[in-house]
Every structure is written in structure tokens, then in C-alpha cells.
Amino acid sequence: MDHLQQHRVQGSAQALRTPSGAAGGVGTVRSWSTEAEFLLPGGRRKVRPDGVWQAPEIGVPVLMVEVDRSTMSPERVAAKFTAYRELFRTKVRDSDPALADREPADRTVHWWRRTWPGPHSRAGYPPVALVVTGAGPVALANRQDAVADLAGDAWGGSWWTITRHDNDGDGWREYDDAVPVIATTLELLAEHGPLGPVWWRYGRPGRHSLLDALESPDTRQAYDERQAAREKKARQDHREWMRTLACADCGNVPKEESTWEYGPDGKEQWTRRPDGRCWDCHQKEHQRREEKRKAEAQARLETARAANAQLRPCWTCRGSIGGKAGSRLELKEKAGPDRLECPRCVSDREEKELGLLVLPAPTRRELLAARVSAPADQWWEDRVLHAKLYPARGRRV
């Protein structure tokens, strides 16, 4: 580290420790070390933060600080976060006697947890702060963006979702194997102090205060809250929809849109409709209509029966042209003018194959008398017509 770099690192340390101005200063930082050096597994590569900041009293047991002076390529800066993840993945044997009878694989602990006992209240590995400096504001903003893109794998966590019909593919991120990265410029840090709203948490928009920035975005908890809100909304929508299905007669609001009910035709599905009825009211309505229909049919029958009783009788049996009252074949309407027999006699004629009913032709005497005065015979017109339609030859009389 040359003299200038040394100076700048000291500057960032100063910015973290005692910010100019009172805004958000942390006066009780327990430890700020710049000499730390950690060996990666394999023993050849090292992770050498520019500073290790420990402030457990404000809920930050450890924060690594990387100061980027715009001298390295963004790729190399991004690679540091991958190296941090490798470091934080390292597990060591746990000498806790309480674990003595566990399997050896269960007797390990993350090295960083043992090194900085915490309490660690946030998911994921210890956070790393990227402090950029050494260029203009636009270049520094671009640099923070570029490093975020390149190091996405180290800080992004893994996306999870639950396949279900009501979450629109929504999900959350798990950070078990992620390094939370917060970024800022040395200038912002110097101006507002480490607790000021200077930190961009990778994965979250905006600038936040330190403690806010350390809270992970897209957590399971946030997903659960969104999902609960979606389910609540769905229940409300369902209740509102159900209210539109209130029974038109009794006002009952259904719990379900469709039910299976026992009706006259066995089990049937009953689906409620807006302005429709509940099953019971539907049954009552159905019965009411059925009774009305029957009453109307009975009234029509009685009217027809009375009308038919006034007409000329059946030619063959001399009973009512409408048939015997209450019989199965009884006419339900007034008999037409061409009808000569009651339904029973028509049916018998068909069964016994008696052929067409042809009335006796008028005699010469009757024809003469008809010229003088209208005949009293109720069938007279039909007899004249039949005589015309069915000439004498072949008539069976």
C-alpha cells in the first residue's frame, strides 16, 4: 500500500468512525482494524479487507469494508465479493462440549460465527461495505452499478417460490449463502457518517441508513405478508361475490357457490346465481309452480269438459264427445267441429280396425225435408259431407 492509498484508507476509517458533523455518527465503535487478513481454504489465497468494523452494540457484530479507489477493474472488485463468500462458507470444528455426541459433520460451525459471536440477527453472511472513491460522481455511480451486476451471484441469494394458483409466481430470496453488500461513496460517507442515508443495498432501490440497508430485500417474511394480503383480498372478493348470490327469497348468503343436494331426481348439483334462490327456496318455488301448473291444467280440463258436454255427443257411444270425465283419454281441450267420436271410441276403432267412421247418407226424404226446413239432426252437415266425400259404392252402412 503506497502512502496515498494509506492516507485514503485512513480517510475512510475516519469517515466511518467520526463523521464530520454530528449526523449519524457512531461514537462507540468497539473496533476498527485495518490489519486483518484472512486465509481462504486451500491456504494460498487471502481476503484482505481494508477495514473490519465491529459495532455489536448497534446490532452490527461485524462489517467488512472494501475501499475501491477506482484503480482496479470492476471485475476484480466484484471478484472480492466472491472471495468473501468463499471465506464465509468455511466451516470449522466446533469444540462446544454440548455437541460432543453429535456426528462429526454436525460438530462444525461457520468460521465467521465463531470469530464474531454476534448476536447475528440477520440472514446470510456478514455484510461487506463497498466504499468507492477516486472519480467523479457519475463514474462512481456507474462503478457501483457495474460491481453490483458482476457480483450478483455473491449477493443475490437464491430465488424461491411456491407453485400455487394464487401467488402470480411471486416468491422470495434466501440468503443463507449470500454476502449482503452495501455500497456508497467516500464523499457521502464523509458528509453523512455511516449511519446516514448513504448506503445502497444491492438488490434494493434507494439509499438507506446503515441498519436499514443491512435488512435483506425480498425476504420470505415479505413474501408471506404479500401472500397473506393476497389471500385476504381473495377472501374479501369471495365474500363480496357470495353476497351477490344472496337468495332472492330468504336473503341467505351461501358459503359455497355450488353444493350437492338431494332432490326429487336424486343427488344434484345446485349452483347459486345472482338473483337466484337457495336450494330450499328453489324447491319451494318449484313446488309452488308445479301446483300452479296442475291447478291451471285442472281448470283448463274442467272448462274443456263443460264445453264438450254442451257439444253433440259421440256418434258411437252417445257419451260426451270429450270422453268419460276423469278417463285417461278424456280431451283436455274443446273438441273440434269435425270430431264425431269420443277419444275412447276413436281408440277402439283403431284397435279393432273398424276403418273410417262414415255417417249414413241422407235419404231422399230427408233431403227433400231439408229443403223446407233445417233438419234437427246434429250430424246432418256431416252426413251430407260424408255422402259427398264417400260415394255410395263401397260404403259400409
**Minimum CB distance to Zn ion, residue 287 (Å):** 14
Cα–Cα distance measured from residue 123 to residue 296, given in angstroms and rounded to the nearest whole number: 78
Residue number, 131 or 278, with CB nearest to Zn ion: 278
Binding piece for Zn ion, criterion CB under 5 A, among 12-20, 171-179, 180-188, 345-353: 345-353
Nearer to Zn ion, 179 or 342 (CB): 342
For residues 392 and 360, what is the distance between their CA atoms, to the nearest angstrom?
A: 10
- For residues 10 and 33, the answer to whether their CB atoms sit within 8 Å is no
CA gap 55, 57 in Å, rounded: 5
317 binding Zn ion? (CB under 5 A): yes
User: What's the rounded Cα separation, in Å, for the pair 341 and 330?
Assistant: 12
Q: Considering only residues 314, 331, 335, 340, which one is a binding residue for Zn ion as defined by CB under 5 A?
A: 314
Q: How far is the CB of 251 from Zn ion (least distance, A)?
A: 7
Residue of the chain from 189, 214, 246, 345 that contacts Zn ion (CB under 5 A)? 345
* Among 72, 79, 222, 281, interactor with Zn ion by CB under 5 A: 281
Strand positions, DSSP E, the chain? 31-33, 38-39, 46-47, 51-55, 60-68, 91-93, 108-110, 128-132, 158-161, 171-174, 181-185, 200-201, 258-263, 266-271
Cell of 82: 466472491
Minimum distance, C-beta of residue 296 to Zn ion, in the bound complex (Å): 25
Q: Which three cell numbers stand for residue 93?
A: 470444528
Q: Which stretch binds Zn ion (CB under 5 A): 7-15, 124-132, 191-199, 242-250?
A: 242-250
Query: Could you say whether residue 316 binds Zn ion (CB under 5 A)?
Result: yes
Residues touching Zn ion, count (CB under 5 A):
11
Interacting span for Zn ion (CB under 5 A) from 6-14, 30-38, 136-144, 337-345: 337-345
Of 9, 132, 278, 331, the one binding Zn ion (CB under 5 A) is 278
d(CA 210, CA 194): 6
Which of 196, 194, 208 minimizes the C-alpha distance to 63? 194
Task: Name which position in 342, 343, 359, 362 contacts Zn ion (CB under 5 A).
Answer: 342
- Which part of the chain contacts Zn ion (CB under 5 A), choosing from 87-95, 137-145, 168-176, 335-343? 335-343
Q: Which is nearer to Zn ion, 214 or 345 (CB)?
A: 345
Question: Minimum CB separation from Zn ion for residue 342, in Å?
Answer: 4
Q: Does 259 bind Zn ion (CB under 5 A)?
A: no
Which stretches does DSSP call E strand in 1-133?
Answer: 31-33, 38-39, 46-47, 51-55, 60-68, 91-93, 108-110, 128-132
The least CB distance from residue 384 to Zn ion, in Å, is 22
Q: Which is nearer to Zn ion, 35 or 353 (CB)?
A: 353
3-state secondary structure of 151: coil
188 binds Zn ion (CB under 5 A): no
Binding to Zn ion by residue 213, rule CB under 5 A? no
Q: Residue 250, interface with Zn ion (CB under 5 A)?
A: yes
| By the rule CB under 5 A, 29 interacts with Zn ion | no
If one counts every other C-beta atom within 10 angstroms of the C-beta of residue 116, the result is: 16
Closest CA to 151 of 212, 49, 247, 81: 81
Burial class (CB within 10 angstroms; exposed 0-12, middle 13-18, buried 19+) of 127: buried
The one segment of 57-65, 100-108, 173-181, 250-258 that binds Zn ion by CB under 5 A: 250-258
The residue (of 34 and 252) whose beta carbon lies closer to Zn ion is 252
CA 99 vs. chain centroid, Å, equals 46
249 near Zn ion (CB under 5 A): yes
Say if residues 143 and 78 touch (Cβ distance below 8 Å): no
Q: At closest approach, how far in Å is the CB of 345 from Zn ion? A: 3
The binding site for Zn ion (CB under 5 A) comprises 247, 249-250, 252, 278, 281, 314, 316-317, 342, 345
